Chain A
Amino acid sequence: MIQFDRVSVTYPDAARPVLREVTLTIDEGELCLVVGHTGTGKSTLLGAINGLVPHFTGGRLTGRVTVGGRDTATHPPRELADVVGVVGQDPTAGFVTDTVEEELAYGMEQLALPPAVMRTRVEQALDLLGLADLRHRGLYELSGGQQQRVAIAAALTAHPRVLVLDEPTSALDPQGAEDVLAAITRLVHDLGVTVVLAEHRLERVIPYADRIVHVGADGAVTAGDPAAMLATATVAPPVVQLARAAGWTPVPLSVRDARRRAADLRHRLPATPTQPHRTATTRQATALTAAGVSVRHGQVVAVREADLRLAAGEVVALMGRNGSGKSSLLWALQGAGLRTTGRVEVPTAAGPADPARMKPATARTLVGLVPQTATDLLYLDTVDAELAQADRDATVGGRARALLDEITPGIGGTAHPRDLSAGQQLALVLAIQLSAAPAVLLLDEPTRGLDYQAKAALAAALDRLSAQGTAIVVATHDVEFAATVADRVVVMGDGDVVADGPAQVVLTASPGFAPQVAKILAPLPYLTVAQVSAALAAADPAPAASHAYGGGGRP
């Protein structure tokens, strides 16, 4: 179906090719998962399938890419629209019309299909992706998961034989992501569409993948059977890391497979973990107290009388579905956002202070917030300029560069902030906010779009900060991330605080919020692979060699 024949891609001004001598054949009806670290040629590989690379992006492609017998060198993307459907990360970026039904028809209108065909295909696509009751709705009224399903349906109506999806779930909450992935697997099984999918959160898609294509940092591409590829890959979901620690071969890919294998492991492990999931650095001193905080936007009560006490050095994960009031609470705590009722106090040398009553410059020395779209804070041309500005704004200047190097070393000072990867941008914004040395740090969805490495770097940075006594709140959907960084988990639902307790308790209480390790080993209260490795090592030092892979615990 798709053939890459000795394909290399080099972008202008780039020292080395993004893809090097790629030879790859993807067969009809295959679900092919593309993995690799951020900044490797994943998107380039996907873009080359429908000719966006190099027709749209520029750069130089050598070798030959053919899709359904058509050479992309002679067929620009629009001429391949009937063979390849493309869905991107942000569904709203690709919407051309304004209602669901018109959006589904748009591609077919461009292909000049007869009206009768369009009518039937729109109806089929509405049913296939469960959008029938949304057909007349405006696209911007829909939730993220619904929007992404519309984008997929819109690509499908042209009846492409290949569907290319570039991180389709990275901007969605877990439920929306589940819906989208369920829809994708149904397409593969019912329609036999060839799907090429790039995805960071491997734990969600690996069970469905027929093949894994790994894009290396040097641009080389290897492909193979998922279990075989993952046994050695540097990017691996917790279930695979657990399998490595427990020495299972072949590697199980889903929680179900792993659980069937885990009976023996559960037996071997002690009933209580030999070490906690993270070394607590919580101190006695209070870093922030919030009492009765409510936020009201018009008729909507976003946060209803929330109480929260943060201790110095504590890391709290704030969880809950989209729209449950996590962001509103963070913004209200910082003081930059709306706070309808309640009080927030941060102890200072001069007694308790309310950040909302301070000047912004003072408030950020008490409570720092990294917003969901971190790049909103960046407006200068170079990384150095941003850091210099941060030093000028800070009470104690000159630390921004050191802070940045501590979080993510090796970011060039002359680079443009917008050219950095998502992880590097987050590190830069974090460094800027930390240069004000706030006692409390709030992060809104920092893991969005980060790969395992960037997440591990972020987790390490948060560990260091909490050890220095900073209180941290991380709003996140990412259960695995919460399991590695959080001492305490607060769950919000519809504006209320639903649960508030130690991570160990909250994260194992319900399957919805449980990390993979907890699901596999339930009822044992283990959260991370590191805990399992440590317990195994304590019980039986012999198979310690197998810990080399997954010993870090951080995915």
Chain B
Amino acid sequence: MLSGARLPRSLHPVAWWLWAIALATAASRTSNPLLLALIFAVLGLVVTARRGDAPWARAFRYYLYLALVVVGIRVLFRIVFGTGVTADDHVLLTLPQLSTPDWYAGIQLGGAVSVEAVLSAAVDGMRLACLLCCIGAANTLANPKRALRVLPGALYELGVAVTVALSVAPQLVESVQRVAKARRLRAGRARGIRALPAIAIPVLHDALDRSLRLAAAMDSRGYGRTGTATPGSRRITGVLMLSGMAGLCVGVYGLLDPTVPRPLGLGGLAAGTLACAAGLVLGGRRVSRTRYRPDPWRWPEWAVAAGGTLAAVVLAAGTGYDPAALNPSLHPLQWPTLPLLPAAAILLAAVAAFAAPPPPAGPARITAPAREPAVDPV
């Protein structure tokens, strides 16, 4: 029974996204470098253990590079745009200082750089980098196209549009290359901007033809068969969605602006969410379709999602340990302590590496069109 759910298969993409977003939430609550490092370690472990061999699954390292760049830029800026030092600070180095005009006061270039300032920049950067890597991990672990398939019925068209665009993009690139190469055969003398029509027009014609044929094919295959919707219900859906979106905007604004009474913000958010949900449900009834081999949601999905969520809850609640340990002070400079409960919660998120079934070997490979057999290589 337990082993059946853990046979090689791809985990439900929503489980991975919940897990990653929860870890990102946890990371955003702390500036303790030890906890952040622990989160990095967990991400690294899970990605290494459970990614497939698809092209998108090889992307994690680029997120890591990006994370390093973020930390680097953050530290560099803090060094260059120094904020001055107080008497207790430990001066690391002193750069030549550029004087800025009076009207530009408040920003200082160069000057003394304290250890505290560099450390706080590094930790800040690390936190941002951690958020980035969480998103990267989700993209690496879950097939982005399968993730689109779990969109609610009302947003189905959107999902299809994105999927088609994703598969058409490589074909467009191929078409541009082909036409650019063929241009030499006609020896167009035009250069620069005047050469553009010779490439753009055949490519655009190609793309238009292709989309028309795709539309015809989709129509013939039953895309957009009408469900049970009447014009009336379609209007109600529209009204619900629009008012829901407006409610969401008002609510978010209310929550972020301290001068707006809090109940107004919460109320707006709740009403907006409700209206949107109702709109989606009603809109979903309009389309009647089923799903082939939907990803199952079994106990590994629960375990992965719960592991991540627990870490987020423990770090957000701040009870059961000294909340100050999450954001250790740099004044005076001291080695941060590792609070036990948050550390254990983050480690629990690493359960994902063992709870999730191993990815299937080889299947569902989607690569850019390597069309060697279909057409002679030109």
In whole angstroms, what is the CA distance A101 to B178 when docked? 30
- Do A369 and B185 form a contact, CB below 8 Å, given A99-B364, A118-B290? yes
Most chain A Cβ neighbours within 10 Å, of B182, B186, B188, B201 = B186
The 9 closest A-B pairs by CB, nearest first: A81-B222, A94-B217, A143-B373, A105-B292, A327-B376, A110-B222, A140-B369, A136-B363, A93-B213
In whole angstroms, what is the CA distance A375 to B178 when docked? 11
In whole angstroms, what is the CA distance A173 to B364 when docked? 27
Contacts of A302 in B (CB 8 A): 377
Interface residues of A in 507-536 (CB under 8 A from B): none
CB-based contact A96/B163 at 8 Å: yes
Contacts of B178 in A (CB 8 A): 373, 376
Check A112 for interface membership: any CB of B closer than 8 A: yes
Apart from A86-B220, A325-B377, A375-B205, what 16 extra A-B contacts exist at CB < 8 Å?
Answer: A88-B213, A94-B221, A96-B163, A99-B365, A101-B293, A108-B290, A118-B292, A140-B167, A146-B373, A147-B374, A327-B375, A327-B377, A369-B185, A376-B182, A393-B188, A433-B185
Return the contact of B374 from the options A122, A142, A337, A375 (Cβ within 8 A).
A142
Check B378 for interface membership: any CB of A closer than 8 A: yes
Contacts of B298 in A (CB 8 A): none
Query: How far is the CB of B197 from the nearest CB of chain A, in Å?
Result: 5
CB-based contact B185/A334 at 8 Å: yes
Contacts of B331 in A (CB 8 A): none
Most chain B Cβ neighbours within 10 Å, of A101, A141, A327 = A141
* A36-72 contact mask (Cβ, 8 Å, vs B): 1 or 0: 0000000000000010100110000000000000000
Check A250 for interface membership: any CB of B closer than 8 A: no
- Do A377 and B186 form a contact, CB below 8 Å, given A96-B164, A143-B373, A323-B373? yes
In whole angstroms, what is the CA distance A52 to B197 when docked? 32
- Do A377 and B185 form a contact, CB below 8 Å, given A140-B367, A140-B369, A155-B221? yes
* A199-210 contact mask (Cβ, 8 Å, vs B): 1 or 0: 000000000000
In whole angstroms, what is the CA distance A322 to B145 when docked? 31
Contacts from B to A (Cβ < 8 Å): 145, 160, 163-164, 167, 170-171, 178-179, 181-189, 197-199, 201-202, 205, 209-210, 213-225, 288-294, 362-378
Return the contact of B216 from the options A52, A146, A368, A372 (Cβ within 8 A).
A52
Task: List 18 A-B residue pairs with CB atoms under 8 Å apart, sorted by A's residue number.
Answer: A79-B225, A86-B220, A86-B221, A93-B214, A93-B217, A94-B221, A96-B164, A99-B366, A101-B292, A101-B293, A106-B221, A109-B290, A110-B223, A110-B224, A115-B292, A138-B367, A336-B181, A377-B186
Return the contact of B186 from the options A118, A141, A393 (Cβ within 8 A).
A393
CB-based contact B219/A331 at 8 Å: no
Residue ID in chain B nearest A164 by CB atoms: B220
Query: How far is the CB of A47 from the nearest CB of chain B, in Å?
Result: 8
In whole angstroms, what is the CA distance A55 to B167 when docked? 27
Contacts of A78 in B (CB 8 A): 219-225
* A72-93 contact mask (Cβ, 8 Å, vs B): 1 or 0: 0000111111101110101011
Check A98 for interface membership: any CB of B closer than 8 A: yes
Interface residues of A in 286-337 (CB under 8 A from B): 297, 300, 302, 322-328, 331, 334, 336-337
CB-based contact B202/A376 at 8 Å: yes
Residue ID in chain B nearest A137 by CB atoms: B365
Query: How far is the CB of A319 from the nearest CB of chain B, in Å?
Result: 12
CB-based contact A105/B293 at 8 Å: yes
Check A478 for interface membership: any CB of B closer than 8 A: no
Contacts of A147 in B (CB 8 A): 374
Contacts of A85 in B (CB 8 A): 220
Residue ID in chain A nearest B217 by CB atoms: A94
Contacts of A379 in B (CB 8 A): 197-199, 201-202
Return the contact of A372 from the options B187, B214, B376 (Cβ within 8 A).
B376
CB-based contact B376/A328 at 8 Å: yes
Contacts of A52 in B (CB 8 A): 216, 219-220
- Choose the segment among A182-190, A260-268, A359-367 that binds chain B (4+ C-beta atoms closer than 8 Å): A359-367
Query: How far is the CB of A549 from the nearest CB of chain B, in Å?
Result: 36
Check A388 for interface membership: any CB of B closer than 8 A: no
CB-based contact A88/B217 at 8 Å: yes
Query: How far is the CB of A439 from the nearest CB of chain B, in Å?
Result: 16
Query: How far is the CB of B58 from the nearest CB of chain A, in Å?
Result: 16
In whole angstroms, what is the CA distance A376 to B363 when docked? 36
Contacts of B291 in A (CB 8 A): 109, 115
Return the contact of A323 from the options B205, B209, B293, B372 (Cβ within 8 A).
B372
Query: How far is the CB of A428 from the nearest CB of chain B, in Å?
Result: 12
In whole angstroms, what is the CA distance A265 to B368 when docked? 54
Residue ID in chain A nearest B215 by CB atoms: A56
Check A418 for interface membership: any CB of B closer than 8 A: yes
Check A216 for interface membership: any CB of B closer than 8 A: no
Query: How far is the CB of A197 from the nearest CB of chain B, in Å?
Result: 16
Query: How far is the CB of B161 from the nearest CB of chain A, in Å?
Result: 11
CB-based contact A363/B367 at 8 Å: no
* A128-147 contact mask (Cβ, 8 Å, vs B): 1 or 0: 00000000111011111011
CB-based contact A376/B145 at 8 Å: no
Residue ID in chain A nearest B369 by CB atoms: A140
